[in-house]
Amino acid sequence: MKKFAGIIAMSILGTSIETAVAEDIVAARNIRAGSVISAADIITPDDRNALRLAVDIIGMEARRAFYKGQPINQGELRTPTLIKRNSIVQMQFARGAMTISAEGRALENGGLGDRIRVMNLGSKRIVTVVVTGADSVRANT
């Protein structure tokens, strides 16, 4: 009967309905897109695999909104955004013992380890860099 009710609801709403399985990690409350997931935001079953998955999910950022009771998949999460588009960042260029620092403007958002484009404010050149922290990037040489 439950499956039949879901099919009726899908035909009325024109959308798919996500149902949580007992092993799924689900949202304990509504989570906005861009929010960082905390332990209080999720409900985890007592399964070892689910607990391992929960450890990986905590600290990640939601790509989309999750509603209370909705399953959370890792594919719908990303590393937290450390650099916002148009923010000023500190760039580090290193080769051997020589290190050069410069300021740049981020042309896209990025999380730890992401490759983003940054415009060097001094030369106006656009370079691809790796995010190393909040408002700091490193150029691969």
pLDDT, one tens digit per residue, over 73-132 is 889 998 899 999 999 999 999 888 999 999 999 999 999 999 999 999 999 999 999 999
Q: Structural domains in the chain?
A: 17-78 (3.90.1210.10), 81-139 (2.30.30.760)
| Percent of the chain predicted with pLDDT > 90 | 62
**What is the model's pLDDT at position 51?**
84
| Percent of the chain predicted with pLDDT > 70 | 83
Q: What is the 3-state secondary structure (H, E, C) of the chain?
A: CHHHHHHHHHHHHCCCCCCCCCCCCEECCCECCCCECCHHHEECCCCHHHHHHHHHHCCCEECCCECCCCECCHHHEECCEEECCCCEEEEEEEECCEEEEEEEEECCCEECCCEEEEEECCCCCEEEEEEEECCEEEECC
